[in-house]
Structure 1
Amino acid sequence: MRPIRLFVPGNIRHSSGGNVYNARLVDGLKALGAEVEVIAVEGSWPGAGGHERRRLGALLGASDRETDPGQPVTIVDGLVAVGAPDELEFAAKAGRQTWVLVHMPVPENAGSEALRREARAMRAATGVICTSTWAASELSKRGLPEARVVLPGVDPAPGAPGSTPPHLAVVAALLPNKDQLLVVEALARIRDLDWTASFVGSDQADPGYAREVRSAVIASGLQERLRLTGELTGEPLETQWARTDLTLLVSRTEAFGMAVTESLAHGIPVLVRAGTGAVEALSLAGLETSDGEPRLPGAAVPLPVGGQESPGRLAGVLRRWLEDAGVRESWRTAAVEARQKLPGWSSTAQGLLALLEARADGTPPGD
């Protein structure tokens, strides 16, 4: 087993899905006996400057021909890779085995130059690994090389007893894509019902958006019922999970959404935006009805971006969940059942090692 070097962006310091995946993957690889070195690459990735890109190139060994068969296998986080296509192309010419780990493809609205840089980086890579089927599908639509999927795992967690009145939580950094403003609008429409809520996530990732969310909470008169906790870890985060009855993840785009599986690990149902990768996370446990039909531990709701249709739709689903004890019980039962079927991080690490070893043996991954 060759050593592994994982290059991660040094500029993402809040708790993101990519950061969590990278850290837990490394733990899993080490538990399997792999030698892993994590290198945090400084720079404003993916828009790092020339100095940071040249440093990355030197670290990749892009200027040296590979002669040592024990040379480490390099995995570059996609946020870094799409900012350094030149360096990945040089590394490929030097014979380096360099994989790209894609958590989220470049957004379609990022512009043609950003998409070209992504395409060059993906084509220069030894192989592309995506952390969700949704991400791999997006790259395929762009005509890029086939990506292999290694889904996130989840840690076992204690079941959540919940609260009275019911408590709702959005576990995500305060970012425009996560659309906490939509949740505020929806909650304002059901203020006649009993509930409390928390937004659990960093307010430093986008301070301007965080101020917008706080202002919206106050303007809606929800400040006594909706709390912004900031980023939580460890016991304070577990305390939040313990009091939660329903989690919401209504991101405009989402490759997977590990907050979904983390919620299910606590036996808490989840409401997600239809059409995003979060639906894959919600259906990961593969639950079925007695008739063999798919059964979600929560709901995937169509929420168009823009306009005033989405707040009403979301409010309607939340109202039904709050007013109908049968709906609450069925979602909760499915979440508790899903809790027993979620894959652990060891399966993530095993899946990635299988891809690397298959390529080293000359066997097409997946054969």
Structure 2
Amino acid sequence: MSPAVTVPAEGTVHVVLPGDVDDAASPSGGNVYDRRVCRGLATSGWTVREYAVPGSWPCPDAAARAELARTLAALPDGSVVLLDGLVACGVPDVVVPHARRLRQAVLVHLPLADETGLAPGDAARLDARERETLRAAGAVVATSPWAGRRLTARHGLDARRVRIAAPGTDPAPLAAGDPSGSRLLCVASLTPRKGQDLLVEALADLTDLPWSCLCVGPPGRDTAYATRLRHLIEGHGIGDRVRLAGPRNGGELAAAYAAADLTVLASRAETYGMVVTEALARGVPVLATAVDGVPETLGRAPDGSTPGILVPAGDPVALASALRRWLTDPGLRRRLKASAGRRRGMLDGWGTTTRELAEALRRLRGEPGRAG
């Protein structure tokens, strides 16, 4: 019998999360990330105490603000606290007063002002609130190198306080794929930022070719966008080829990836793009907009080849052109699929994410870093 492995105790971290973090009907990349790192920290020896605070973050009502204030006030002085930026960054008046007595780290998935569709005044206010929160925090954790650079430059942060903990990827079976390349997959919440409307416009120009497109993801808070999207699909007469399947989790989501030939991400803004690595983990090529952190996430295979196609953001004509190339060029499909298979072996797992985040927490606690 192998000897039991003893995990060294790391101490306690109090994690403040959005109230919908466990809502299976509304999965998001941020919620998946939060869940995985909480689990990873617990497995690696931390005592993780979670506080899910309901509210329309980052602009909550008075009740949500009061609940967050009570949560922070109840924590003992000197506590290590990891706050999801969606909760913390919009309410510096609630969070900053505790910054001197608590050791606060703020986890930023997307800079608040980068959300699509904000009025200029609203974006400016959110940006100023985020700046105040992050400058007061003991540490800032960004979920991509792009986000780390953007936050550092935008808010004048000391780069030594900003740590990158990019999302990990679980190993997955290699998708078989179909030689025709006709099965398209889009995995994203139905929000303007994810650009499904641009994808529909592009697909409407390709009705002379064989393809189907499965759109997986929950409706966002902007329910009018989901309605507009359905009307757009029907208006173009492609309702029999574009399916809005709603949220999928676990085995259902894995099956959607396994059946895909190409994953398409038409986002107008994207800090990292977890969908990209989820597809690559299965050897599925990616067509994505060259926005924000996506080119770094897509990366290159060891031989320097690219496992996908990047197009300008907000350009349905360019998106349609790239899709037409994919659907009509068997050689391109073979090359991209081979490159995606090679890139698959380079992806970091969630253990790497947890280690980077744990290192930020140790430094926040004033301890020396650990090698490895």
After TM superposition, the score normalised by the length of structure 1 is 0.90
Would you say the 8 A contact 2:107–2:141 is kept in 1? yes
Q: Distance in 1 between matches of 2:37 and 2:20?
A: 19
Question: Could you say what secondary structure the match of 1:35 adopts?
Answer: strand
**Per-residue displacement from partner, 1:162-209 (whole Å, max 9, x unpaired)?**
246420111001111111011111111111111111111113543211
Aligned equivalent of 1:7: 16
Question: Could you say what secondary structure the match of 1:248 adopts?
Answer: strand
2:170 to 150, 155, 159: 155
**Per-residue displacement from partner, 1:70-117 (whole Å, max 9, x unpaired)?**
x54110000111122122221123x21011000000125443221111
Alignment of 1:181-330 (within 5 A): 181-203=197-219, 205-283=221-299, 286-289=300-303, 294-303=304-313, 305=314, 310-330=315-335
**Per-residue displacement from partner, 1:241-280 (whole Å, max 9, x unpaired)?**
1210000111101000111111111110111111321222
Q: Distance in 1 between matches of 2:229 and 2:370?
A: 45
Would you say the 8 A contact 2:183–2:213 is kept in 1? yes
1:79 to 73, 77, 86: 86
Q: Distance in 1 between matches of 2:33 and 2:355?
A: 14
Using the TM superposition, give the Cα deviation of residue 237 of structure 1 relative to its aligned residue in structure 2, in angstroms.
1.6
Q: Distance in 2 between matches of 1:213 and 1:365?
A: 49
1:353 and 2:368 aligned: no
Would you say the 8 A contact 1:73–1:98 is kept in 2? yes
Distance 1:366 1:48, change over 3 A: farther
Would you say the 8 A contact 2:163–2:356 is kept in 1? no
Aligned equivalent of 1:22: 34
Distance 1:72 1:125, change over 3 A: same
Aligned equivalent of 1:174: 190
Structure 2: which amino acid aligns with 1:77? D
Structure 2: which amino acid aligns with 1:297? P
Question: Could you say what secondary structure the match of 2:276 adopts?
Answer: helix
1:130 and 2:142 aligned: yes
Q: Distance in 2 between matches of 1:258 and 1:117?
A: 27
Aligned equivalent of 1:42: 54
Q: Distance in 2 between matches of 1:234 and 1:251?
A: 23
Would you say the 8 A contact 1:61–1:96 is kept in 2? no
Aligned equivalent of 2:95: 88
Q: Distance in 2 between matches of 1:197 and 1:158?
A: 22
Would you say the 8 A contact 1:355–1:365 is kept in 2? no
**Per-residue displacement from partner, 1:321-342 (whole Å, max 9, x unpaired)?**
1111111011101111111121
Q: Distance in 1 between matches of 2:129 and 2:153?
A: 16
1:97 and 2:94 aligned: no
Q: CA RMSD in A?
A: 2.1
Query: What is the aligned length?
Result: 350
**Per-residue displacement from partner, 1:30-56 (whole Å, max 9, x unpaired)?**
221221122111121111123322322
> Greater CA deviation, 241-250 or 48-57?
48-57
Structure 1, gaps ≥5 residues long: none
Aligned equivalent of 1:341: 346
Structure 1: which amino acid aligns with 2:239? Q
Using the TM superposition, give the Cα deviation of residue 360 of structure 1 relative to its aligned residue in structure 2, in angstroms.
2.3
Distance 1:204 1:101, change over 3 A: closer
Using the TM superposition, give the Cα deviation of residue 356 of structure 1 relative to its aligned residue in structure 2, in angstroms.
1.5
Distance 1:10 1:65, change over 3 A: closer
Question: Could you say what secondary structure the match of 2:99 adopts?
Answer: helix
Q: Distance in 1 between matches of 2:57 and 2:124?
A: 18
